[in-house]
């Protein structure tokens, strides 16, 4: 399965809503580390159908916030520390910076550049509203993910693409993690506008074959997520599951099972 199919498939509005609300339950501590999550009770709790809940559970597993419990056993909240989150975001920024530099140095096929601009134009359209609504945010999630997936392809390195997918599975390291971005809030929309401006600057640097500039811009782009994390950690009750939890990841970015 391709990186696009695993991480960056199209996200309908209901699925994005369920994903954001479920992520919020984990961040706030309403769902505690190790707690089991079953599809039907969660759908009832969120007041939505099972289909978007199923997709949201899968995506949060891919983001590293949940882990599957056996065959048909639902999911449970993964355990992680604040430093794990910082390191995961830093790792993704480093890898994406490398991808941008390689893309600039090696050159990129015009079809990929055109595809990237289509994603960015769609993001501009989503953000061109007085208040970011649920459909607009869903469009942002879809096309932001598409742009980040293309960045890996632009690098021309299959190995780097695979590592980017694995890094994006670490907690809150996914390009679609959006920690602290609330739909309808001007501050959240402002964050997304800054990120979009950085997208265009990175793509321009790649087209101009400016490798160092492209890498630096992409590293700075990842720091937006780091700043959102630090803000959430300072808020009362923010990221409550991190208070007492420190669990090491193994070499594949996974929480070791009991048998390991």
The two three-digit tokens of residue 228, written as one number: 């959102």
Which residue, among 222, 201, 5, has the nearest Cα to 116 in the 3D structure?
Answer: 201
Higher pLDDT, 122 or 61: 122
Q: What is the pLDDT of residues 111-120, one digit of tens each?
A: 999 999 999 9
Pairing relation of β-strands 66-68 and 75-77? Answer: antiparallel
**Residue 73's pLDDT is what?**
76
Q: What is the pLDDT of residues 136-162, one digit of tens each?
A: 888 888 899 899 999 999 999 999 999
The percent of residues in the chain predicted with pLDDT above 70, rounded, is: 80
Whether the predicted pLDDT of 58 surpasses 50: yes
Higher pLDDT, 104 or 89: 104
For residues 210-224, average pLDDT:
94
Distances (CA, A) of 164 to 58, 99, 152, 240: 18, 9, 7, 28
**Residue 19's pLDDT is what?**
84
What average pLDDT does the structure give for the chain?
A: 80
Give CA–CA dist 144/126, Å, rounded. Answer: 11
Whether the predicted pLDDT of 108 surpasses 70: yes
pTM for the full model?
0.71
The two three-digit tokens of residue 118, written as one number: 């289509």
**Residue 22's pLDDT is what?**
87
Give CA–CA dist 145/11, Å, rounded. Answer: 10
Whether the predicted pLDDT of 260 surpasses 70: no
The pair phi, psi for residue 258, each rounded to 5°, is -55, -30
Among the residue ranges 49-58, 65-74, 98-107, 246-255, the one predicted with the least confidence is 246-255
Whether the predicted pLDDT of 254 surpasses 60: no
Higher pLDDT, 227 or 163: 163
Residues 6+ apart with CB under 8 A from 225: 89, 92, 172, 173, 177, 179
Higher pLDDT, 2 or 61: 61
Whether the predicted pLDDT of 202 surpasses 60: yes
């Amino acid at each position: 399965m391709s990186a696009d199919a695993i991480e960056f498939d199209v996200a309908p509005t209901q699925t994005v809503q369920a994903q954001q609300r479920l992520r919020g339950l984990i961040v706030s501590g309403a769902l505690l580390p190790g707690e089991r999550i079953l599809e039907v009770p969660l759908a009832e709790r969120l007041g939505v159908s099972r289909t978007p809940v199923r997709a949201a559970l899968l995506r949060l597993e891919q983001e590293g916030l949940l882990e599957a419990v056996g065959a048909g056993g639902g999911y449970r909240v993964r355990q992680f520390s604040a430093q794990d989150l910082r390191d995961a975001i830093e790792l993704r920024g480093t890898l994406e910076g490398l991808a941008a530099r390689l893309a600039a140095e090696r050159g990129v096929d015009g079809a990929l550049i055109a595809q990237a601009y289509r994603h960015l134009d769609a993001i501009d359209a989503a953000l061109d509203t007085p208040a970011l609504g649920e459909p607009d945010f869903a469009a942002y999630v879809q096309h932001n993910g598409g742009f980040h997936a293309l960045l890996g392809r632009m690098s021309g390195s299959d190995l780097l693409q695979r590592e980017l997918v694995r890094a994006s599975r670490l907690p809150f390291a996914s390009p679609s993690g959006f920690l602290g971005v609330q739909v309808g809030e001007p501050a959240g929309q402002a964050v997304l506008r800054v990120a979009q401006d950085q997208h265009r600057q990175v793509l321009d640097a790649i087209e101009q074959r400016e490798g160092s500039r492209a890498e630096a811009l992409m590293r700075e782009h990842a720091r937006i997520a780091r700043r959102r994390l630090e803000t959430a950690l300072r808020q009362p009750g923010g990221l409550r599951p991190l208070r007492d939890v420190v669990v090491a990841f193994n070499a594949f970015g996974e929480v070791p099972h009991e048998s390991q």
